[in-house]
Each structure stands twice: as structure tokens, then as C-alpha cells.
Structure 1
Amino acid sequence: MSTLTTSDLRGFIAVAEIGHLTESAAALGIPQPTLTRRVRRVEEAVGADLFDRVGRRLVLNGRGRAYLPHARAGLRELAEGRTKVARLMDPERGTVRLDFMHSLGTWMVPDLLRDYRALHPHVDVQLHQGAARVLIDRVLADAADIALVGPRPGESVGADAVLAWDELELQRLALAVPEGHRLAGEGPVSLREAVEEPFIGMLPGYGTRMLLDRLTGELGFSPHLVFESMELTTVAGLVSAGLGVALLPLDDPYLAPRSIVLRPLDPPAHRELGMVWRAGAQEAPPVDQFRRFVMGR
């Protein structure tokens, strides 16, 4: 079977519309024998003659009329594909697929996007919000270019790391307790002192829940969870209502807990917030530009 090119399809369409080889060749700016070969390749590819000769003109027959709309549609699709690829390669008009955790949607992400769009207003940033573990898996599956997550994923550690990591924030972790609680004192506190307490936590797979599970596991206990949420603000609110204690970051600028006491953990523990992307990936220019912008802040 003949391999068709866009030039072959353009030649066929020109003859179909003009109806004369010489005039069609002149319109395309090519010699008539070249156009004849292009039309012949189209006919060989579809396995049938597509024109009838009427005097000195070439007129589409039934087979040609059936094929013509598909030839036009094929050229349109190829042109649209080239346009989309060109946009992806244009750092000022391409696309960045950015994922982020729920807790970063109130401060980090808006701040980044506000400043970035002031410099690059035509870049298309496609956003997705979710649990840290889900976002990491999306980057690994190439469903996202970049994810803002915490804590640092294991896939970004070591010589065989499949993810790259850049730390953006380091927040000290605290035990959050209601005012008047027996642990509502001052200064650092060990998480071990809350072994018997009911906990308010994030859902499995969320960053702060991953930290809670790791820290309590290191101390040899599993927290008794009485409620699991997708939002740190909900966790803080339920602690203030006296439903339990929680693990919360000290330095989240938009958490603003009320009627609760935040005691830093002893020994100190931190919530790492950072950016992950596929290690060694050939990033499109818009993605690379956005990543360098974030790293440079």
C-alpha cells in the first residue's frame, strides 16, 4: 500500500476542486508530472480510480466524492495536531499540568500562580487537587507534569529515584489540643503523651496523615481516629470543638486555628512541602520554565 503524505492529499483536493491538472499544478506551484504522481499515490492507497476524464477535465466519480471529505478532514486533523504541539513547545503559550494538595490551595498555589501569570499571562495552567499519594502517582503516570506535595515521597530519594524533588517550605509539626485540655501547656511535647487520646486526622494518603502514621508508628502505637477529613481547617475546627487532638503544622499561614493550643513536637518533626516531577523527563519548555520559576522563588 502506498504511503500518503500531506502533499499527496493536498494535490488530490486541489484537482478535485479545480478539475484540471495543469491549473491545479500551477495553483500549488509544482510541475504537472509531480501532481500526477501525487494523485496516483492517493488512488493506489485507496485502491480505486477517483476521477473520470471528461474532455480535458478530471471530474470526481462516486468513489472520489466519497473520499474527498475524509481527505479534507485528515488535513484538518493534522494541522490541528501540529498547532497543539507547537503550543506545547511555546513557553509563553503552552500548557503546564499542575497538581497540588488541598492544604496548599489557600496560600502557596494562589501566590505562585498570581506571580507567574503576571510574567507569563498566556500560559495555560491546568490544575488538579487531591491527596498527596494520589498526586505522586499521577506524576509517575504522566497525568501531571508537576505536583506540590508533602512529605517528600520515597520515590525521590536515592540513586535510583524516579522522581525529582525541590523543597519549598519546612513547617514544624505540633500537637493540637483544645484549650483547657490536660496537654494544653507550654513548650514542646512528646507525641507519646497522646497515646490514649482520640485523634482527628486526615484521610489515608493525605500528606499530614502520612506523617501522623509514620511518627506514631515510630513510637509503637496507632492513633485512635474518631474522624478523618480532607481539609486541615476541618481538623483544626474539630479539635477546637473538643472532639480530639491532631497533628498540625505550626507555620501554615492560612490555618489560623482558634481555641486550640499548638505544642511543638519533641523531638522536633517537620512537614516538608516541595515540588516533584519525573526524574530525567524531557520537559516541554512551558513546564521547564514554570519549574525554574518555582525553584527560583
Structure 2
Amino acid sequence: MSLSSELQSFLVGAELQHLSDAARELAISQPTLSRRIAKLEKELGSELFDRTGRGIHLNQRGEAYVPHARAALAELEAGRTKVRRLMDPERGTVRLDFIHSLGTWMVPDILRAHRQAHPHLDIKLHQGPAQEVSNRVLYDQADIALVGPRPEESREGGELGWCRLHRQRLALAFPEEHPLAIEGEEIHFSEIASENVVAMLPGYGTRIMLDKLSAEYDVRLRIVFESMELTTVSGLVTAGLGVALLPLDDPYLLPHRAVLRPLTPAVYRDLGMVWRQGAAPAPPVDGFREFVQSRLAAA
């Protein structure tokens, strides 16, 4: 019997307050559950529940132990995860994070191709804004992140490694009835100084670039709506709510009833892969990273 099974049994019992229900939740017999809890109580030298038939109720000592049991179980699981990632490269685990806008094309393409070659690798996915997924790699909550623009932490001397996978030129999107909706003509960022703007939430990739352009050209943005999805931003532009900063070549962001005008001077969003510099060798992670680099890395 492992410590983790004892802790899990205790926590489920504490939550459900009934032996039969807890045993059913854990897919074990009631006597097995009782033995696990009794063993934990023996090790602690104190009962953690008051018992009434099959009902169990946390006593004061049990209530005091709950947060420590949760923390211990989380640490044990984190340890197991780290060990698994150092095992068989074909059956280990890769924790892959990515920004929202890549979930419609780059990530599915990578996963489809990788699963054909390595069908048994376990890939744990997490989606979030650019700053969040970069931080998750820094804090060892993820192994690899697909992100854009390039994080500052991946510049020379930073804690993150970087490999560019794709480059997108950025444009300003206008509703088709807007006076500045001139098909095929470039536009300077300063020309939206008096416009309503639909933007991504702070911390998202295109919002980071929007804020940088605003600071560079001293343009005070009048943001009327913030979203976590570029598709929403694009749709609201077509509805006439405002203008937006969008990539030119995203196959899922070709707005109907809107016009994209490339920025001049040209502005690009680099999309790439980051990982933690100096991380311990992990064959599943290293193999996945090499696969992505060989398949997509840009010159």
C-alpha cells in the first residue's frame, strides 16, 4: 500500500463523508478503504474521523490534516511526473503549452504528424495567453510552449531557449465600410489614433505587440472591447465595433466584410517554441522538441 493511496483515500473520505460512497468513487472495496484510512491514522497516532456506522465525519485533527494531505499528494504526483518524463521516450510525457491562436492550425498539424510517428507518447496540453505559457515553462509547469511574439526571457542570456517556427506580417483590420478600408494599401500605425480599437486581453501575444506599437508611435488607444480569442476580435471588426491588429496569413482569420491593410514599416509576429535552458535531459521532451524543429523551424 502506497502513501499516495492512503492520502487519496483519506481526502475522498473527507470530501464525501461516507465509506461506501468514497469506496465507490475510488473503485475499491469498502474494507480496502477502511484499511487505508486506519493505516494512515496509525502512522499519525490519532483518529482523523468520528465514525457512525458507514458515515464518517472529520474531527478537529482530520480537519487540521486535510491541507497537508493535499499538499503532500500534489508533491508526490509532481515527483511521479518528473520521473515519467525521464523514462521511455516513446511512452513518456510532454507538457505542451500554446497560445490560443495556434490552436486552430499549428498545434493540430504538429500533433497529427507526431502521433503518426510516436503514437504512445503522452502529451499534456494547456492553452493560455503568451505571457502565461512562457511563465509556465520558466516555473517548470510546462516543458515546451508554442508562443508569439518571442518572449524577452528567450533573448541572449535569458532563461528560455527559442526556435522560430513561423513569421506573420501584421496588419490593421477595418470594417469594409470604413473610410480607411482601402484594399491592398499599406498603412502607418499612427493613422488609428482616433479610432475605436478591438484588442486582445493584456498578456496575449497580439496585445503585447499592440501596446508596443502604441508606445513606439505615441498613440493613445481607445480600446472598446478586449477578448481572449483572435476570431472574436476579427468578428467584432466586421460588425463595425472598431479596428484591430491582426496577422495577415492566419488561415482561420480571413475576415468577411473587412479589409486588412499591412503595416508600414512592416511589423512581424514571430511564432516559435520555447523551453527552459539547463533543464535536465528528458528523452520524451527532447525528442518532441527535435521533431518540431526539424518539421517547422524557419531560417
**TM-score, with length taken from structure 1:** 0.71
Contact 1:155-1:161 at 8 Å conserved across structures: yes
- Provide the identity percentage: 63
How many residue pairs get matched? 221
- Equivalent residue for 1:163? 160
Matches within 5 A, 1:78-93: 85=83, 88-93=86-91
Q: Give the one of 278, 281, 285 matched to 1:280.
A: 278
Structure 1 residues 84 and 207: CA distance shift in structure 2, 3 A: closer
Partners of 2:97 and 2:195 lie apart in 1 by 34
Aligned partner of residue 296 in structure 1, secondary structure: helix
Following superposition, the deviation at residue 86 of structure 1 comes to 5.4
Aligned partner of residue 275 in structure 2, secondary structure: strand
Matches within 5 A, 1:223-242: 223-242=221-240
Residues 1:189 and 2:211 are matched in the alignment = no
- Equivalent residue for 2:103? 105
Q: Give the one of 267, 272, 276 matched to 2:265.
A: 267
User: C-alpha offsets along residues 54-99 of structure 1, whole Å, 9 cap, x if unaligned?
Assistant: xxxxxxxxxxxx89x98xxxxxxx9xx8898356421000000000
Q: Give the one of 153, 156, 170 matched to 1:173.
A: 170
User: C-alpha offsets along residues 233-289 of structure 1, whole Å, 9 cap, x if unaligned?
Assistant: 000000000000000000111212111000000100011100000112223100000
- Structure with larger Rg: 1
Residues 1:150 and 2:139 are matched in the alignment = no
Structure 1 residues 180 and 111: CA distance shift in structure 2, 3 A: same
Partners of 2:199 and 2:115 lie apart in 1 by 35
- Where has structure 1 moved over 3 Å in runs of 4 or more? 81-84
Following superposition, the deviation at residue 222 of structure 1 comes to 2.6
Aligned partner of residue 234 in structure 2, secondary structure: helix
- Equivalent residue for 2:35? none
Structure 2 segments unaligned to the other structure (5+ residues): 1-38, 44-75
Structure 1 residues 87 and 225: CA distance shift in structure 2, 3 A: closer
Contact 1:89-1:285 at 8 Å conserved across structures: yes
User: Alpha carbon RMSD of aligned pairs, Å?
Assistant: 2.0
Structure 1 segments unaligned to the other structure (5+ residues): 1-65, 71-77
Aligned partner of residue 238 in structure 1, secondary structure: helix
Contact 1:213-1:222 at 8 Å conserved across structures: no
